[in-house]
Structures are given as structure tokens and as C-alpha cells.
């Protein structure tokens, strides 16, 4: 092998390397893109854009001979600019790009020691130029392959950790997560400039003067990577604590809401009891008006009685005071928004269900349905709730219309909130998790189906002997 062939060989390997790294970057970004898991054309186009962004910049770099940090900045900027189309928020897209290049640089730094050590064993001791070039080519391929394997493994570990984190980043959270990767990139660039020095037309490797660096440099690279993982894990724990606080807040809201419903139920039935007690007086008054022949006043009196009694009349009867109030309250809210509301919900006859638990389930389901319909621009908006009991099993089904795309969480199999960024979106996502938690009390579960523009949730509950109703039917 002569020098020309060796240079050509290096260029070919570098070209293949660019394509492989572009594929890895595309796969990395694809795992965070919004949309269905299965193949679809739109998601494939988004993945192709990520691939082309990297490949185009680095193939241009071969001809233009740009600095490595310039290529990193350009690719990251392109991905951040196209983040909306890619289905990723801009801040996470920026984080993913910088993290990708940081891990790549750290892998390259770790392999620098391996390259020096193996290179000396392959190249030194050979006399012919051809043999030296062949060994150098073999060393080049081996080091690049090891670097690729190391980089892929490290990126996979970091990516799997990131998937467990909430990707709705605030500026402060983004800065916290970027601190270590940016420091790592800067450190690697500085170290590479130190390791290779030019003095009096001679290239001096610092490894030759300080052999201990062969072991120290990979350790430092590993420490930087460990710092990245620690940062991600600590952020993950911080987000977990925030979610726990939100869950506690939502649970307290649910308790307060049910308590209010219970108070409304008590007031409702207190009114009915008062009406019963007053009925005798009303009948005496009507009898007196009848006997005196004041039929006009009697008619007005009866009309006023009818209106006062309508106050205590519920449009939907479920068979339980708590669920009566909840369903009727949501029905009124739907009517105000022009949403069609249909109820076929009947409270289970078994006393082994807690009205409080059932109330939390239907309250969350109907509230989520109202919010989904409220965000629709079309006229065809509807909500339907139904129930059925089969022996020891009780099914609750809520169906509603919606617009947009439903993204399912891979870990929980629950929809990821699409309400928007911030606390409101996060709280909305907790609604179905509360339903699932209540269902698990009854050895049950929930099933979610999405067909065209209809979202349906079916909750399965099973009787438990230990569960006794706190509210009589």
C-alpha cells in the first residue's frame, strides 16, 4: 500500500463513518419524536431530515476542512431550528444534539490512548513503508470500530435514562442539564490540542513524554461521562419529586371535590326531607283554597310548589347519591359548552364497591373528556358514559370526541398530556393514572382505545369482600 492508496482508504472509512454516525443520530432523535411507535411516513421523513443534517454538514467538512466544533454547532443549530417539525420541543432537541456530540468526543478521547498504544505495537519495528501503511490502516479501522462500539453503548445508556425524564424543560433545567456536556466538549477540545503539539516542524505527542497519560486520559473521559449520568439521574429524581407533589396536590383536589359532592348530596336530601315535612302544610293550604273556592289562587300555589320541587330534581339518576351529583354536574358543564352528553351509567348493586372510589374514577374520566372536547373546533362534540355489571365484574366506559394526536407513554401505556407545557399539562396527565390507581384497588385495570377521532376508556373493577360501601344506595 502506497501513500495515495492509504489516503484514499482513510477518506473512504471517514465517509462510511459519517454515514454510520448520521444513522445513530437519526435513531437517537427518532426515539424521542412524538407519534406512534409503529412505522409511518411522516416519522420516517423526520428521521431522514436528522440523517441528512448530519451527513451533509460532515461531508462538506471533508472538502472545506472546517473545525470540528463548527460542524457540531451547525448540526445542533439545524436540529434545534427544525425541532417543531421533528415533533420535539426546541430545548430538548438542543440538549439531545449537545449530548450526542459530547459523548462522541468523550469516546474519541478515550480511544486516543488506545490508538497510541496499539499504533506503536502495529507500526513500530517495521522496516518497509508498505508494511507500515498496511498496519496503520488496520490500526485505523480497529480504533474507529472500537470507538463506534463504545460511543453507541454510552449513548444508549444515556438515552435510556433520558427517556425516563420529563422532556418539558424550563430554561433553568436546560442549563442544569447542559452544564456537564458543554464542559466536556470544551475539555476534550483542549486536551486534544495539548496531546498533539508541533515544535520545530516536529509533531510531538504528549503520550511519549508522559506515558502515564495513556491511563489517565480515559479515566478523565469516564469521569465526565459519569458526571453526565449523575446529572441526568439527579434531574430524574427531582422531576419524580415534583410529580409526587403534583400527584399529592391532585389527590387533595380529588378529596376536596368528592367532599364537596358529598355536602351537595346531603344538602339535596336535607331539602327533600324538609319538603316532605312541609308537604302536609301545603296540602292543608290547598285544601283550604279548594273549599273556599279560590281556584285561581290554588292554581298559582300549585305552580309555585312545582317550581320549588324542580330545584331538587336531577336529570340523570345513577342509583347512588354521590355519582348522581357528579354525573349531573358534568352533564350541566357539557351543555354549557354545547357538548352532547349521554349517560347510561348505573351504580353497581353490590355493596362491595366504595362510592368514594367510584366517584373519583368517573370524575376523572368525565373531566378529561370535557377538556378534550373543549379543545375541539368542530361542532360534532360528544361525551358518553355507560356501565354494565357481569357477575362479580363492573365495567365503566367513557367515550368522547377529540382532535389531534394521542401519544402513549411506553412505560405506563397511558396518554402523554397534549394540553401544553407547564403544570397544567402535567396535571392533566395524572388524571388517568389516578383512575388506574383506583382500579387496582379492585384488582382491575383500564383499557384505552383510539379510533379516528374517538377516545374511549374502559375501566374494569372486581368485587372484593373487604370493600364495603360507605354510602347506601
Domain boundaries defined on the chain: 3-248, 315-473
Of residues 26 and 259, more confidence is placed in 26
Mean pLDDT of the chain: 80
Averaged over 123-130, what is the pLDDT?
61
For residues 344 and 385, the answer to whether their CB atoms sit within 8 Å is: yes
- In terms of Cα–Cα distance, which of 253, 261, 383 is closest to 331? 383
The pLDDT tens digits of the residues spanning 314-330 come to 678 898 888 888 898 88
Return d(Cα 39, Cα 31) in angstroms, integer: 12
What CATH number should be reported for the domain whose range is 315-473?
3.30.565.10
Beta-sheet strands, E only, within 335-425? 340-344, 382-390, 393-401, 407-408, 415-416
For residues 403 and 376, the answer to whether their CB atoms sit within 8 Å is: yes
pLDDT of residue 458: 93
pLDDT of residue 104: 92
The pLDDT tens digits of the residues spanning 393-451 come to 999 999 999 887 776 665 567 776 544 433 333 444 567 888 888 888 898 988 888 88
- For the chain, percent of residues with pLDDT exceeding 90: 23
From the CA atom positions of the chain, what is the Rg in Å?
34
Confidence of residue 291 (pLDDT cuts 50, 70, 90): confident
For the chain, the straight-line distance linking the first and the last C-alpha, in angstroms and rounded, comes to 91
Amino acid at each position: 500500500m502506497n501513500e495515495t492508496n492509504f489516503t484514499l482508504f482513510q477518506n473512504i472509512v471517514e465517509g462510511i463513518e459519517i454515514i454510520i454516525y448520521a444513522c445513530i443520530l437519526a435513531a437517537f432523535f427518532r426515539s424521542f419524536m412524538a407519534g406512534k411507535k409503529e412505522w409511518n411516513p411522516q416519522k420516517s421523513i423526520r428521521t431522514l431530515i436528522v440523517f441528512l443534517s448530519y451527513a451533509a454538514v460532515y461531508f462538506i467538512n471533508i472538502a472545506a476542512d472546517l473545525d470540528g466544533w463548527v460542524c457540531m454547532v451547525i448540526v445542533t443549530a439545524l436540529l434545534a431550528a427544525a425541532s417543531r417539525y421533528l415533533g420535539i420541543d426546541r430545548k430538548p432537541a438542543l440538549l439531545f444534539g449537545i449530548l450526542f456530540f459530547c459523548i462522541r468526543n468523550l469516546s474519541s478521547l478515550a480511544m486516543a490512548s488506545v490508538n497510541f498504544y496499539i499504533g506503536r505495537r502495529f507500526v513500530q519495528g517495521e522496516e518497509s513503508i508498505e508494511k507500515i501503511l498496511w498496519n496503520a490502516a488496520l490500526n485505523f479501522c480497529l480504533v474507529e470500530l472500537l470507538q463506534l462500539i463504545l460511543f453507541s453503548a454510552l449513548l444508549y445508556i444515556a438515552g435510556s435514562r433520558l427517556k425516563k425524564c420529563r422532556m418539558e424543560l424550563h430554561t433553568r433545567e436546560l442549563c442544569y442539564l447542559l452544564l456537564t456536556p458543554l464542559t466536556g466538549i470544551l475539555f476534550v477540545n483542549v486536551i486534544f490540542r495539548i496531546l498533539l503539539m508541533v515544535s520545530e516542524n516536529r509533531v510531538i505527542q504528549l503520550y511519549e513524554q508522559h506515558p502515564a497519560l495513556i491511563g489517565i486520559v480515559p479515566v478523565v473521559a469516564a469521569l465526565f461521562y459519569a458526571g453526565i449520568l449523575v446529572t441526568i439521574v439527579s434531574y430524574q429524581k427531582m422531576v419524580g419529586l415534583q410529580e409526587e407533589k403534583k400527584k399529592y396536590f391532585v389527590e387533595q383536589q380529588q378529596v376536596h371535590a368528592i367532599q364537596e359532592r358529598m355536602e351537595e348530596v346531603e344538602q339535596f336530601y336535607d331539602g327533600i326531607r324538609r319538603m316532605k315535612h312541609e308537604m302536609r302544610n301545603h296540602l292543608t293550604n290547598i285544601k283550604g283554597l279548594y273549599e273556599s273556592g279560590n281556584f285561581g289562587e290554588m292554581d298559582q300555589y300549585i305552580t309555585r310548589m312545582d317550581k320549588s320541587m324542580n330545584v331538587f330534581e336531577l336529570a340523570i339518576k345513577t342509583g347512588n347519591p354521590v355519582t348522581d351529583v357528579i354525573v349531573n354536574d358534568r352533564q350541566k358543564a357539557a351543555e354549557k359548552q354545547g357538548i352532547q352528553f349521554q349517560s347510561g351509567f348505573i351504580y353497581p348493586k353490590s355493596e362491595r364497591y366504595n362510592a368514594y372510589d367510584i366517584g373519583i374514577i368517573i370524575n376523572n374520566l368525565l373531566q378529561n373528556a370535557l377538556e378534550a372536547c373543549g379543545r375541539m373546533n368542530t361542532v360534532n362534540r360528544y361525551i358518553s358514559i355507560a356501565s354494565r355489571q357481569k357477575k362479580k365484574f363492573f365495567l365503566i366506559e367513557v367515550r368522547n370526541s377529540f382532535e389531534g394526536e394521542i401519544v402513549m407513554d411506553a412505560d405506563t401505556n397511558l396518554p402523554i398530556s397534549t394540553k401544553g407545557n407547564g403544570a397544567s399539562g402535567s396535571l392533566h396527565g395524572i388524571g388517568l393514572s389516578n383512575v388506574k390507581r383506583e382500579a387496582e384497588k379492585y384488582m382491575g385495570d383500564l383499557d384505552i382505545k383510539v379510533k379516528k377521532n374517538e377516545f374511549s376508556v374502559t375501566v374494569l373493577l372486581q368485587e372484593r369482600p373487604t370493600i364495603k360501601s360507605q354510602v347506601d344506595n
